[in-house]
Amino acid sequence: MSDVFKERLFEGRTAVVTGGGSGINLRVAERFAEHGAHVALIGRTKEKLDAAVESIRSSGGSASAHPCDVREFKTMEAVMADVHASRGDIDVLVCGAAGNFPAPAAAMSSNGFKAVLDIDVLGTFNAARAAFDRLRKPGSIVINISAPQAFIPYPMQAHVCAAKAGVDMLTRTLALEWGPLGVRVVSVSPGPIDDTEGMRRLCPTDESRARVTDAMPLRSFGTRDDIANLCLFVASPAGRYITGSVLLCDGGMSLLGGGTMLGV
Ligand code: COA
């Protein structure tokens, strides 16, 4: 598909993407790189980050790898300081690192629940907090990758529902506090997006995929490009008046209720 955005929107800018080594977050990072930004990728697995950086560079983009667990604040601070020292103020921070596994609440260990809360909520706070002093003011944006679980109860997703609700409230609170400084904060909430780890876990069979597409208002999965283009738009000058919003990009899935995805 030809690029719907005609101009290179982020020439000379810096974007930091947590969880940027794969999936939706990698595609978001690639889109910012395609539009001229240097993208700093944060993730736990060095090999994944190195492969992503290599691929972005081979397409003519600028990228760097920063292995780090978003749950560790001191390391996150060191990464943000590094990025700032080499690239200047951060224009875009995408908090995409997340954890998920389907499990009924009654069989979930307290530690399993905590692992997801720590990655999603604490990890998002850590990234935003560690980046704060280095964000361009005015003019930067924090994009938190959320999920429909934030406002629709899903069976087998007690941890993710609690975590993403927390992420969306963090979005709103930070938008309120940081708006006067010219820092916008939004959530982007993807529905069922093809070719992602989340979908492979939640919809592992042809049968479960068909159940989802048959029920979806738009009768299809989304693509990683759908989410990346929304992030590009909202971070661009065209999105300048949007803050504190939870932007759904879900093919209408949130209109259906939580059982659709899991067939219960
Ligand atoms: N079912 C039930 N419990 C599970 C589980 C599963 N499929 N996977 C992990 N857990 C539990 C573990 O048993 C452990 O609890 P315990 O100590 O009581 O046994 C706890 O979760 C932490 O697991 P661990 O693997 O040590 O944590 P981690 O921090 O390395 O991993 C997870 C985090 C749990 C989110 C893991 O699923 C993960 O890393 N996923 C990859 C990223 C991902 O989920 N991507 C999809 C995004 S939509």
- CA–CA gap between residue 154 and residue 160 (Å, rounded): 9
109 lines ligand 1 (CB under 6 A): yes
Distance between Cα 62 and ligand 1 center (Å) = 32
Question: Which residue has a Cα nearest atom 8 of ligand 1?
Answer: 101
Residue 14 has pLDDT above 80, yes or no: yes
pLDDT digits (tens, 9 = 90+) for 18-64: 999 999 999 999 999 999 999 999 999 999 999 999 999 999 999 99
pLDDT digits (tens, 9 = 90+) for 228-238: 999 999 999 99
98 lines ligand 1 (CB under 6 A): yes
- CA–CA gap between residue 129 and residue 30 (Å, rounded): 24
Distance between Cα 108 and ligand 1 center (Å) = 10
Q: Which CATH class is domain 14-252?
A: alpha beta
Ramachandran angles phi, psi of 135, nearest 5°: -75, 145
3-class DSSP assignment, residue 189: strand
Q: Would you mind telling me the total number of residues written for the chain in this entry?
A: 264
CA distances from 157 to 6, 10, 95, 236 (A): 40, 36, 20, 33
- Identify the burial level of 11 via C-beta atoms within 10 angstroms of its C-beta, where 0-12 means exposed, 13-18 middle and 19 or more buried: exposed
Residue 235's pLDDT is 98
Residue 260's pLDDT is 62
pLDDT bracket for residue 262 (50, 70, 90): low
Residue 5 has pLDDT above 90, yes or no: no
Tokens representing 92 are 């875009």
pLDDT bracket for residue 203 (50, 70, 90): confident
Q: Do residues 49 and 66 make contact, with C-beta atoms less than 8 angstroms apart?
A: yes
- CA–CA gap between residue 196 and residue 128 (Å, rounded): 24
100 lines ligand 1 (CB under 6 A): yes
Q: How many CA atoms lie within 13 A of 25 on its CB side?
A: 30
5 lines ligand 1 (CB under 6 A): no
Closest ligand 1 atom to residue 109 Cα is: 18
pLDDT bracket for residue 1 (50, 70, 90): low
Tokens representing 102 are 């389907």
On average, the pLDDT of the chain sits at: 95
Which of 72, 109, 114 has most ligand 1 atoms within 8 Å of CB, for mutation? 109
2 lines ligand 1 (CB under 6 A): no
Closest ligand 1 atom to residue 101 Cα is: 7
Question: Which residue has a Cα nearest atom 10 of ligand 1?
Answer: 112
| Rounded average pLDDT over 117-145 | 98
Radius of gyration of the chain (CA): 17
113 lines ligand 1 (CB under 6 A): no
107 lines ligand 1 (CB under 6 A): no
Which residues sit opposite 66 in a β-bridge?
Answer: 42
Which of 68, 100, 108, 117 has most ligand 1 atoms within 8 Å of CB, for mutation? 100
Residue 263 has pLDDT above 70, yes or no: no
Residue 264 has pLDDT above 60, yes or no: no
| Rounded average pLDDT over 9-23 | 97
Q: What is the pTM of this model?
A: 0.95
Closest ligand 1 atom to residue 107 Cα is: 2
